[in-house]
Structure 1
Amino acid sequence: MLKNYLVDKLIELALLEDIGHGDITTESIFKGNKTSRFYFLAKEEMVLCGTEIVKKVFSSMNSDIETNFYFKDGDKIQQDTYLGEVTGNVSSILTGERAALNFLQRLSGIATNTRRYTTCLKDSDIKILDTRKTTPGHRVLEKYAVKVGGGANHRFGLFDGVLIKDNHIDAAGSISDAVKKAKESIPSTIKIEVEIRNLTELQEAVKAGADIVMLDNFKRDEIIEACKIVNKRAKIELSGGITLEEIGRLKKYDIDYISVGALTHSSGNIDISLKIGEAND
């Protein structure tokens, strides 16, 4: 993931927007090559994510900086735990601090939130999926964080999966026509998914040969009936404002996936600080 060229572009942009023509505070105080060690501290319980990109941020600032984390991405961390250290030129570390923390806090927030959802389904085969409701430009990182948290990725973009939504259906005239045209145009290795608004559309989609049906904002009694209609002929995905409080109750249904936009669009940042000095101070 972190070899993706988009990641390097994001780091470059993050540093450019923060530093601009120079860190006037740090540059006015530190004139020499003073070095020191700084420590990352988790100020709340979290799932760690973003260690490699933090290393890349600091190495972009100064190739002599050494960044070492005591844990790996995906590890659950308790509050008031030291996560790692960064050692090197003080000016370079201070200048890159905010960009590094922004990535670490954001990605750890997504991973932590995703872990809450997946924990609710730990004794079932249902997979938690993300969506394309991501921060513009940051999708590669945010979808990585979902995987670190135990979730799975839905299609990355418009290019790697077919999802026939309501506007496609209405513009095409019918689900049958939309599915037929998609099957004629794409390789058979690509699954065709159809967003479903009601049970009548569900019957049409299954008959047309959809591989996956997305039940959008279905009520509980409708989900039960939908499972009977599908009868294992397609995979079933639930979607539409599904909250953490209710997700555990969905385990009883014969479904395969639950997609949750909140994994990326509503996850808060984790409180992590970077402080100079000894970890046992």
Structure 2
Amino acid sequence: MTTEPLRPVLPPLMVEDQVRAALIEDLGRAGDITTYSTIRPELTATAKLNTREHGVVAGIEIARTAFRLVDAEVWFNALVKDGDTVTPGQPLAEVSGPARSILSAERVALNFLMHLSGVASYTARFAAEIAHTRARVTCTRKTLPGLRALEKYAVRLGGGSNHRFGLDDAVLIKDNHIAVSGGVASAVLAARAYVGHLVRIEVEVDSLDQMREALTARPDVILLDNMGPDLLRQAVEINRAHAGLSEVDYDAAASRVQLEASGNVNLRTIGAIAESGVDYISTSKITMAAPTLDIGLDVEIA
């Protein structure tokens, strides 16, 4: 039996409304007047979606959905799967059918495919920088409105981890919550009393003293905000000592508090942050700053 992790799944039902809304936005009030005025309705075409860059694919089935919603007669043959690494010039999919329909769906299909593949590819670069450590790069709630589930799916395809999806699936007590509620430990204890036993609780701290206070209330995760590698290493040692674990046992201990680092995370700094011994490194860059992967639709000329 293989031990390779299963690839993330994005059910088609989750994306159909978003793709339909994007198509309606693009088609506007009169449809694709460029295509309608230059392409006769009986003409057919064959094209390929080709990547111009090295990267990780995300959004193949979303592209398929765009062509299907415009015209069920368009045939779409995926040549790669989401999560595959591709090279410049590599075809990702073939499409054929009514030429008008292919051209009208092209931009929306490519917009989703290029953006999500860009997120997956950029995440993969961050993940590669810390592959020699136990740390994992994770996304945040800083996502494009309406695209959070899709972007977080792309992050997983790139080898990253997902943070909470919204305000309702995990507790993250930040500095403003602490300021209003009256303290780190009291906020954690209040949250523990409020939520169900399956809801994880994380608290943000910006000093080692706050971290020590947080440990007394035993959250599931402590977020170490804007700490450099030296402070992060001290935080890891404080956490180990508080749990009463040896250095050998620390990594494997499931019962200890998990540590997450955030702030000033980029491709130059993430390696040193990971080497401090933290478990997770969160950054908005893998979603908010990811460049698109250059992908084009090339019509084959008979």
Q: TM-score, normalised by structure 2?
A: 0.89
For 1:148-227, list aligned pairs within 5 A.
148-227=157-236
Determine if contact 1:114/1:151 at 8 Å carries over to the other structure: yes
Determine if contact 2:229/2:276 at 8 Å carries over to the other structure: no
| Equivalent residue number for residue 7 of structure 1 | 15
Partners of 1:260 and 1:246 in 2: how far apart?
11
Determine if contact 1:38/1:276 at 8 Å carries over to the other structure: yes
Give the drift of 1:88.
0.9
SS in 2 for 1:91: helix
1:24 is aligned, of 27, 33, 37, to 33
Partners of 1:33 and 1:19 in 2: how far apart?
20
RMSD: 1.4
Partners of 1:179 and 1:2 in 2: how far apart?
33
For 1:83-122, list aligned pairs within 5 A.
83-122=92-131
SS in 1 for 2:269: helix
Give the drift of 1:67.
1.0
Give the drift of 1:71.
1.1
Amino acid at match of 2:293: I
Determine if contact 2:129/2:271 at 8 Å carries over to the other structure: yes
| Equivalent residue number for residue 248 of structure 2 | none
**CA offset digits 1:218-257 (Å, max 9, x no partner):** 0222112211221154100010121111212233222111
1:55 aligns to 2:64 (yes or no): yes
Partners of 1:253 and 1:184 in 2: how far apart?
32
Give the drift of 1:101.
0.3
Partners of 1:211 and 1:128 in 2: how far apart?
18
1:134 is aligned, of 143, 156, 179, to 143
Give the drift of 1:128.
1.2
1:245 aligns to 2:295 (yes or no): no
**CA offset digits 1:43-85 (Å, max 9, x no partner):** 1111111000000110001111111121111111111222221
**CA offset digits 1:65-120 (Å, max 9, x no partner):** 11112111111111122222111110011011000000000000000000001111
Partners of 1:159 and 1:136 in 2: how far apart?
17
| Equivalent residue number for residue 255 of structure 1 | 278
| 251 and 197 in structure 1: CA distance in 2 versus 1, 3 angstrom threshold | closer
**CA offset digits 1:189-246 (Å, max 9, x no partner):** 2111001111111011111111100001002221122112211541000101211112
Give the drift of 1:5.
4.6
2:80 is aligned, of 66, 71, 78, to 71
Amino acid at match of 2:23: L
Determine if contact 2:232/2:273 at 8 Å carries over to the other structure: no
> 5+ unaligned residues in a row in structure 2: which ranges?
1-8, 244-255
Determine if contact 1:2/1:53 at 8 Å carries over to the other structure: no
| Equivalent residue number for residue 235 of structure 1 | 258
Amino acid at match of 2:272: R
Partners of 2:236 and 2:295 in 1: how far apart?
44
| Equivalent residue number for residue 89 of structure 2 | 80
Most deviating of 238-247 and 261-270: 238-247
Determine if contact 2:142/2:288 at 8 Å carries over to the other structure: yes
Amino acid at match of 2:290: S
| Equivalent residue number for residue 5 of structure 2 | none
> 5+ unaligned residues in a row in structure 1: which ranges?
none
Partners of 2:142 and 2:118 in 1: how far apart?
16
Q: TM-score, normalised by structure 1?
A: 0.95
Determine if contact 2:133/2:275 at 8 Å carries over to the other structure: no
Dislocated runs of 4+, deviation >3 Å: none
Amino acid at match of 1:165: K
